Amino acid sequence: MSQIKLGSHVGMAGKEMFLASVKEAESYGANILMLYTGAPQNTRRKEISELNIEAGWEYAKKAGIEEIIVHAPYIINLANTVKPETFELAVGFLEKEIKRTAAMQSKILVLHPGSALDAGTEAGIAQAVKGLNMVLDANDDDVVIALETMAGKGSEIGRTFEELKMIYDGVHKKDRLRVCFDTCHVNDAGYDLVNDYDGVFKKFEEVLGLDQIAVFHINDSLNLLGAHKDRHANIGAGTIGFDPLYKVVHDERFLDVPKILETPWLCAEGETKKTIPPYKEEIARLLR
C-alpha cells in the first residue's frame, strides 16, 4: 500500500530559505510540503540562486520528503478584464512562477483561478482562459497548474466543478491543467462532504474526472455549507468535522495525491497572537 502523502504549508525565509522550509516540515512529521516562493501578497521575489534549493533537497531526501508543492501568490488575477495592467502583471508573473516552480523541482503549481470583479463569471472565465493560454503556449516546463476549487466569495470564479471545466475547455494545453481540491472551499461553495461524501466525488468524476485532482488542501471550515465565505478552521473544529477529512486523507482512490494542511495557527494560553503551528498534532491525528 502507498504511503499517505501528508504535510502542511510551510514558510521560506531567512538565510536557509528552502532548507528552512524542509526542516519545518520535518518537525511536523510531514512527508510533503507546500510553500510560496515569496510573500503571497506581493511580487517581490529573491533570485532562484538565493533559494538554497540544493541544500534543501539534500536534507529533504534524508527526511523522507520527496515531493513539494508550490502555491502561486493570490495577487495573481488572470480573470481581471477591468484593469489591463493587472491582467498583464498576472500573466508575466505566472510565467516567472512556473520557472521558479521548475527550478525548485516541483511539478505542481497551485493557482486561484481569479475574480471576475463586475464583469461577470463568463467574462472572467474567458479572461482566465486567455491568460492561461498565453502562459502555457509559451512554456514547455513539465509543471502543471492546479486550479483551486474556490469558495465563491465575491466574484471568484472556480466555485463549481462546472466553472473549472469551462476553463479546461478553453485551454489549449489541457494536459498542463489539474485541480487542487480544497475541502473548506468546496464546503463553502455548497458541496456536502459531511452528508454526501460519495455524491460529491461522483459529481467531480462526472464533470472533470478524479484523475485530475493533483493535490488536496485539507481544511475544516468555520462556515456553514454553501456560505461562500472561505474561513479555514482547525481539523475537527469546524462544520465539516474530523471524520469526512479523515476519510479524504485515507481514501484509497487518492493515496498517491499530496494532501496539504492550511489550518490556522493557535494562540498560547492567555495570548491573542497566533504563534503555535497546529500541524504536528493534526498530521499525527489524521494518520492514526
* Among 276, 257, 260, residue whose Cα is nearest residue 268: 276
Whether 1 is in a domain gets the answer no
271 among annotated binding-site residues? no
- pLDDT greater than 70 at residue 1: no
Q: Does residue 17 form part of some domain?
A: yes
Output the pLDDT for position 270: 87
Chain-centroid distance of CA 11 in Å reads 14
Q: DSSP characters for 97-149?
A: HHHHHHHTT-SEEEE---B-GGG-HHHHHHHHHHHHHHHHHT---SPEEEEEP
217 is known to lie in a ligand binding site: yes
Q: Express each pLDDT in 171-192 by its tens digit.
A: 999 999 999 999 999 999 999 9
Q: What is the pLDDT of residues 111-131, one digit of tens each?
A: 999 999 988 999 999 999 999
Residue 41: its pLDDT value, please?
A: 84
The tens digit of pLDDT for each residue in 135-144 reads 999 999 999 9
Supply the mean pLDDT for the chain.
Answer: 96
Please write down the HEC assignment for all residues of 168-181: HHHCCCHHHEEEEE
DSSP code, position 263: P
Q: Is 261 helix (H, G, I), strand (E, B) or coil?
A: strand
In a domain, residue 31? The reply is yes
Calpha distance 48→70 (Å, rounded): 14
Per-residue model confidence (pLDDT) at position 17: 97
Residue 9 among known ligand-binding residues: no
Q: Is residue 16 part of a domain?
A: yes
Taking only the tens place, the pLDDT of each residue in 37-84 is 998 888 889 999 999 999 999 999 999 999 999 999 988 999 999 999
Contact 181, 191 (CB under 8 A): no
Residues 6+ apart with CB under 8 A from 148: 110, 111, 112, 113, 158, 179, 180, 182, 185, 217
Q: Looking at the domain assignment, is residue 54 inside a domain?
A: yes
- Residue 182 among known ligand-binding residues: yes
Domain assignment present for 259: yes
First to last CA, the chain: 16
71 is in an annotated binding site: yes
262 is in an annotated binding site: yes
| Residue 188 marked in a binding site | no
Cα angle: 61, vertex 210, 260; to 5 degrees: 40
Residue among 29, 5, 195 nearest 107 (CA): 5
Q: How far is the C-alpha of 55 from the C-alpha of 20, rounded, in Å?
A: 10
pTM for the complete prediction?
A: 0.97
pLDDT at 170: 98
Q: Binding residue per annotation — 230?
A: yes
Residue range 223-229: average pLDDT?
97
Query: CB–CB of 87/129 below 8 Å?
Result: no
User: What does the pLDDT average to over 238-251?
Assistant: 98
What's the domain range around 69?
A: 6-287
CATH number at residue 32: 3.20.20.150
Domain count of the chain? 1
Assess whether pLDDT exceeds 60 at residue 258. Answer: yes
